């Protein structure tokens, strides 16, 4: 993977956003998008969360020169790592390199990625005054660098490879903003929706509105599908999810452009899956904590994505194959399965193991 300044593929192209009819047809017939629509595919499509990440030597080389936020804000580099990962692994979709917390950077609350500690918010939101201090922003303008990266990536990917855009679900974005970073118990977030429901409602409505505009702008820029990450939703009881979160997830998904598949993914969400289904996405992501077969059976008429434990890729090839085939057999060849991990690829993972996983999935045949 060369430096972006030396790679003309990732220079701003200035091309029209209107796809040629031939490319539109190729994309529509891609196994990934067909699986999102629960249509039969010749093989099970696969893509992987964090498929552009620190497990790749080329990615580490770039990160040794630029900070994480700097990489996110450099469209040429973001496009380069996105395309490189897809081409290297041979997966059936690319996902734009960005971060779910970029809206918080635009909100000017002091987002910083601290080595060894993760994202930190210098000015967390706890009061009505804090909410009023968040500026009214046009998402497409505030996060224009993400949209430019999507345009560059779309023009550089193979014509039949879909590109996935994404954003944080309203609850996860709110919890980061309120807690000031990650949390064990989410005391501040839960206290707000228990004790100050009016403030919670105002915040969630603001985040939903911004996220709708942001995700729709990603589609306009060239994304063929969208994933909504609810990384912290597993801290909620079904009752709290239904009362304080589900209405806003529904509003977000309802506000997205028709005809663009939406994947809804949460971690630790075993008790929430039936409610998450009600939010209205086309595909529901399963993490590794649930049994694939029984979860899919209970969800019935919705496509599913998942759900290999990322730690399996740290094991020997024989064990990787064993666990992968268990999921493939549980899927029974039914339409509407996208293979993925139950979360992102871990940094210690051997890239050869990731390629081997893709090979197993692509070559699998029903007994």
Confidence of residue 321 (pLDDT cuts 50, 70, 90): very high
Compute the distance between CA of residue 43 and CA of residue 39 in angstroms, rounded to an integer.
Answer: 11
Which domains are present in the chain? Answer: 31-363 (3.20.20.210)
Is the per-residue pLDDT at 334 higher than 80?
Answer: yes
Reading the block at residue 104, the tokens are 């918080």
Q: What CA–CA distances, in Å, run from 9 to 2, 42, 146, 159, 339?
A: 11, 31, 17, 14, 29
DSSP code, position 339: B
Give the pLDDT score at 191.
98
pLDDT digits 0-9 by tens, 55-110: 999 999 999 999 999 999 999 999 999 999 999 999 999 999 999 999 999 999 99
Angle at 27 between CA 169 and CA 218, to 5 degrees: 35
Confidence of residue 169 (pLDDT cuts 50, 70, 90): very high
Residues 6+ positions from 124 with CB-CB distance below 8 Å:
109, 130, 177, 178, 179, 180, 188
Give the pLDDT score at 20.
67
Confidence of residue 22 (pLDDT cuts 50, 70, 90): confident
Give the pLDDT score at 54.
96
Task: Report yes or no: 257 and 290 within 8 Å, Cβ to Cβ.
Answer: no
Task: Report yes or no: 222 and 150 within 8 Å, Cβ to Cβ.
Answer: yes
Query: Where do we find the tokens 């020169």?
Result: 65
Give the pLDDT score at 24.
86
CB atoms within 10 A of CB 159: 14
Selected residue with higher pLDDT from 6 and 226: 226
Q: Is 202 exposed, middle or buried (0-12, 13-18, 19+ CB in 10 A)?
A: middle
Compute the distance between CA of residue 39 and CA of residue 32 in angstroms, rounded to an integer.
Answer: 10
Confidence of residue 13 (pLDDT cuts 50, 70, 90): very low
Confidence of residue 18 (pLDDT cuts 50, 70, 90): very low
CB atoms within 10 A of CB 362: 17
User: What residues act catalytically?
Assistant: 50, 54, 63, 99, 176
Give the pLDDT score at 3.
41
pLDDT digits 0-9 by tens, 174-202: 999 999 998 999 999 999 999 999 999 99
Is the per-residue pLDDT at 203 higher than 70?
Answer: yes
Give the pLDDT score at 21.
75
Reading the block at residue 301, the tokens are 């008429």
Report the pLDDT averaged over residues 294-315.
96
| Average model confidence (pLDDT) across the chain | 94
Report the pLDDT averaged over residues 270-286.
98
Q: What CA–CA distances, in Å, run from 52 to 9, 62, 91, 315, 346?
A: 18, 12, 12, 20, 11
């Amino acid at each position: 993977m060369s430096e972006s300044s030396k790679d003309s593929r990732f220079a701003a192209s200035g091309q029209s956003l209107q796809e040629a009819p031939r490319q539109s047809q190729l994309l529509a017939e891609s196994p990934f998008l067909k699986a999102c629509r629960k249509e039969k595919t010749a093989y099970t499509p696969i893509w992987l969360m964090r498929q552009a990440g620190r497990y790749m030597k080329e990615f580490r080389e770039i990160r040794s020169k630029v900070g994480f936020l700097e990489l996110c804000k450099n469209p040429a580099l973001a496009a380069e790592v996105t395309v490189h990962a897809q081409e290297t692994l041979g997966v059936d979709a690319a996902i734009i390199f960005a971060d779910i917390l970029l809206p918080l950077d635009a909100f000017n609350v002091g987002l910083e990625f601290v080595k060894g500690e993760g994202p930190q918010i210098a000015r967390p939101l706890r009061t009505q005054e804090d909410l009023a201090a968040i500026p009214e922003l046009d998402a497409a303008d505030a996060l224009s660098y993400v949209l430019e990266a999507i345009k560059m990536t779309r023009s550089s990917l193979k014509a039949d490879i879909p590109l996935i855009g994404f954003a944080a679900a309203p609850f996860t974005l709110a919890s980061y903003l309120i807690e000031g970073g990650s949390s064990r118990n989410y005391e501040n977030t839960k206290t707000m929706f228990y004790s100050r429901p009016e403030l919670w409602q105002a915040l969630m409505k603001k985040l939903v509105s911004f996220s709708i505009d942001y995700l729709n702008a990603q589609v306009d820029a060239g994304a063929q599908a969208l994933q909504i990450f609810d990384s912290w939703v597993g801290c909620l009881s079904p009752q709290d999810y239904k009362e304080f979160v589900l209405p806003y997830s529904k509003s977000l998904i309802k506000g997205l452009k028709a005809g663009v598949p939406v994947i809804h993914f949460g971690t630790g969400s075993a008790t929430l899956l039936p409610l998450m289904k009600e939010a209205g996405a086309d595909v529901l992501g399963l993490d590794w904590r649930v049994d694939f077969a029984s979860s899919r059976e209970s969800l019935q008429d919705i496509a599913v994505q998942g759900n290999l434990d990322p730690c399996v890729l740290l094991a020997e090839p024989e064990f990787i194959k064993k666990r992968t085939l268990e999921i493939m057999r549980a899927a029974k060849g039914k339409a509407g399965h996208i293979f993925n991990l139950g979360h992102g690829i871990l940094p210690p993972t051997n890239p050869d193991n990731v390629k081997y996983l893709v090979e197993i999935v692509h070559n699998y045949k029903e007994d």
